[in-house]
Chains A and B, each alone.
Chain A
Amino acid sequence: MLAPLADCLHPTVLVFLAAAFFSRLSGDTVRAVYFTVVGLVLAGDRIARRYRRRSAVAAPDGPGAMSGPAAQAFSPDSVMGRRAATSRWLVVALPAGVAYAVVVGSFQRYTVPATVSITVLAAAALVAALRTSGESAAKPGRLDRLGLTAWGLLGLGAAVWELVALYMQPTFTTDSPAHPTLSYLANGLLAAWPGRSAVLFGWLAFGWYLARR
């Protein structure tokens, strides 16, 4: 009875809902909607999988059973195959990534061409992640709890520091040179074409790295 509620209150879901709350506070409705939708999709996905697992146990060959490549294509169990596949594609992906970074970097930020270019790629990645990510059959390798806590505290500290800078601005929508947020500091780098292209290439490279994990 409480299981669906636990899915909705999963820490990952709560992080997205908190991000939506702070985005709304800062007057950024579009990003607030984005975070809310992602949080709700994750919660809905967890609930749906819970019911699929239940029906699969009741009827192992029924419609609720997980099957096909979509179930495991991006599970940690398939990491070696995925890395081999991405390595084969690197010869195509690298020049394509450079071309994308150069062309999209030539667009001014916050314009329609830049927005469409980023949105199409990001949406494709999100749809791919939703359609192909699978659970792992294996237990995760043990990591030192104290070490994980240290990384968690560092991430939390970074988030709090950014939020403090945001709250010290005159208003949430007015940048302050005296209390710069990371976005504000990035403005200088992203003002010119080479800077935008370099950041875009780094963004793509990080996405590629994630696809190989």
Chain B
Amino acid sequence: MSSRDITIAGYLLVLALAIGMNLRAHGPGSRLPTIGQVLARIMHTRTGRIAVVAWWAFIGFHLFSK
């Protein structure tokens, strides 16, 4: 297994964990919050809302802008 495979496997593991945790959170009686609930909690404050929008803007800059 090359270092490239290990690096990509790490990203896939994070993705799989995120999907698995979110599915689990939607299950009945789960104490785990959904990703939507976590996001809503972060955006509950003005600082958090502006910060999330700033990260969203950064993704656009990062992928497409000079």
What sequence of 0s and 1s flags, for each residue 84-126 of chain A, a beta carbon within 8 Å of any chain B beta carbon? Answer: 0000000000000000000010000111101101110111011
Q: Does A171 contact B (CB under 8 A)?
A: no
Among residues 4 to 53 in chain B, which have CB atoms less than 8 Å away from a CB atom of chain A?
Answer: 4, 7-8, 10-11, 14, 17-18, 21, 25, 31-33, 35-41, 43-53
If over half of B's interface residues share one DSSP class (helix, strand or loop), that class is named, otherwise mixed; here it is helix
Collect the chain A residues with CB atoms within 8 Å of residue B35's CB.
Answer: 151
Given contacts A114-B64, A122-B61, A161-B14, are A129 and B50 in contact (CB under 8 A)?
Answer: yes
Within 8 Å of chain B (Cβ to Cβ): is A146? yes
- CA A154 to CA B57, docked complex, whole Å: 22
Q: How far is the CB of B28 from chain A (nearest CB, A)?
A: 15
Q: Taking the nearest CB of chain B, how far is it from the CB of A188, in angstroms?
A: 12
Distance A115 CA – B51 CA, assembled complex (angstroms): 21
Best-buried of B4, B7, B14 by chain A (most CB within 10 Å): B7
Q: Check A31 for interface membership: any CB of B closer than 8 A.
A: yes
A183 to B62, CA, bound (A): 8
Contacts of A200 in B (CB 8 A): 64
Q: Which B-chain residue is minimally distant from A179 (CB atoms)?
A: B7
Residues of B within 8 A of A (CB-CB), count: 45
A57-84 vs B, Cβ < 8 Å mask (1 yes, 0 no): 0000000000000000011100000000
Q: For the side of the interface on A, what is the size category?
A: 35 or more
A16-B48 Cα distance, complex, nearest whole Å: 12
Q: Would you call B44 and A178 a contact (CB within 8 A)?
A: no
Query: Do the beta carbons of B64 and A110 come within 8 Å of each other?
Result: yes
Minimum CB–CB distance for B11 against chain A, Å: 7
Q: How far is the CA of A157 from the CA of B16 in the complex (A)?
A: 13
